Structure 1
Amino acid sequence: MNKKTMIIIFAMSLIVSACGFPSAADTERISTAAAQTVEARFTQMAVESATPEPTKTQKKPSPTLTMTPTKVPTSLAVPDGCLVANFVSETIPDGTLIETGAYFWKSWTIQNNGTCTWNKNYKLVFWDGDLLGAAGEYNFFDDISPGETMTFPIQLLAPDVAGNYQGSWKIKSPSGAYFGVGQYDVPISVNVNVGDPGDLEPGIISVVYSLSRDPEFGCPANVFWTIHADITVSGPMNIRARFAKSDGVWESKETLIFDEAASKTMSMTWPLYKGAGPAPRWVQLVVLHPDDEDVYYPTYTFVNNCPDVVD
């Protein structure tokens, strides 16, 4: 006997006991009602068993990403004061005349004024302007210890079109830091005037004065002041020049011969003896042209800093 049948019999017995002995019709009605009751109960049980109560689930927190800062490898880190360079000299002065389509060599001499050695992983790299047929970068070909100098020569190519061309370069460390020369970290540069051979006429690009003193310090009876004039030309040429002085005296003529664009120096010494006054004095470079007017460059003034005022 199954469970469903037992429940029906139990239900009928309860009804009989409550109402007395039933008739055949009543028995049929009771059986039908009991069957419907049992069926409804089983239907409810089936629904309850088929539809479980939802269970609460805890939401997992999103993982927190922690960014680890990128570190420069110790071998590539640049110590403070390492990347300090000083410009010493160059070839191909600014304004040099170059024929169209001609190859030429430009070089810079740089001093390591930093605190560490620059090795062969350092590079001379193009920074701005006209590349002039060069590669974009050049590895150092030797180590440069603090205080030492190195000359960097590179071959360049003048364009086929006449004009002024200039390009700048800097130094790149193995860690990727760029630096130039001097207090303001400026690039080194090349600046040339390109033209057709028949149109090139060399000339003086600049005249720069400087002063030296013997002795360098102190005020002995006699002090010798020497004035220097650095003359830069754009190509092969000869120059005849002399110094004019504020006291009306002219120094002797001198001839400078240039085989190429370069700089050369003319100098004159002005001795000041005991009793010289404090009045400012000046000198002036004059370039002589036999077939044209002489060219007078600006004057250079200096002051006697050990005057013995007796005049």
Structure 2
Amino acid sequence: MKKSMLLIICMILIFTIMLSACKPSEQSLMATDAINTAQAIIIEQTAKAKIIEDFTQTAAAMPATNTPILTNTEAAAVEAATSTKQPVAQQATSGDAAQFVEETVPDGTTFAPGVSFTKTWRLKNTGTYTWTSDYQVIFLRGDAMNSPATQALGSSVSPGTTVVISLNLKAPEADGTYEGYWMLRNPSGRSFGTGGNNFPISTVIKVSSNVTTTTTVTPTTTTTVTPTNFVFAVTDITIISHIPANGQPCGQELNFETQANITANGSGIVKYRWQNYDGNVSDTVTASFSSAGTQTSTTQNTGVAATTDIGSSGWVAIEILSPNNIRKQYDWTYQCTPP
């Protein structure tokens, strides 16, 4: 605005000088033109200033917004979250991938307040990495329902095979609808879920005071309700090997027992076999579970002590053949006494 006024003043001075050199009649005409021109410039500049002032006041009066600028990854996560009822999870590491196969306790199952139940999922390893026993199931969000923050996978799952994951949960005390979400986590600390969008595994239950889940028959007997679509599976194996103390003469055979504690999540038939480091494989053994619990299997192992003071080593393993495939190995070493 200051520049515009300076320009007008300069133009008036120039016209004044020009007028002094003209005839009186010409001076009158030029003076009139100069005045009209100056007035036009003043009107135009005043209008522009008014527009700028109004725009500035309007902008200042508008509320400030903090709309975030999304990265490509965040934008894709928002799109996935709004297109599915399940929450978006952290992107999985290359090589780690899972596929949902089946589950127990369908979404919407109703429990009485405080009732304990077991939720089971069967997942398939569709990645290129083997899930070792160091992989974990971790609670992600929602209602934990008394689940641990982390739970070891407990077995080795090769690409292309399936694993059964069971969590012991407890219905909340208040009536309502509850949702819980969990994911897998590799030893590097990266989490991943199922499918292309890495969806968490989940459960959705209803709690109602009008529902009775367990009926007491006698003081020591209860009726167990098996959820629809229940998946019977071996959920854990522990191995205990009773290898002799070091010190036997080198060259002698080592005879010892190895025990395996097999835990299943319900009633069903388990088939398994023993394997030894020397290539021996037992016949298929069958174990019948009348309910969820643990059974012990024992095998006799024979190893040859080394002929030097280095000692000897070997391993023994148990492989679950059905209803799901799990293999657990125990590595042993022995220090013999040279002759």
- Under a length normalisation based on structure 2, what TM-score does the superposition of the two structures give? 0.36
Higher helix residue share:
2
- Under a length normalisation based on structure 1, what TM-score does the superposition of the two structures give? 0.39
- Please tell me whether Structure 1 or Structure 2 has the larger radius of gyration of its CA atoms: 1
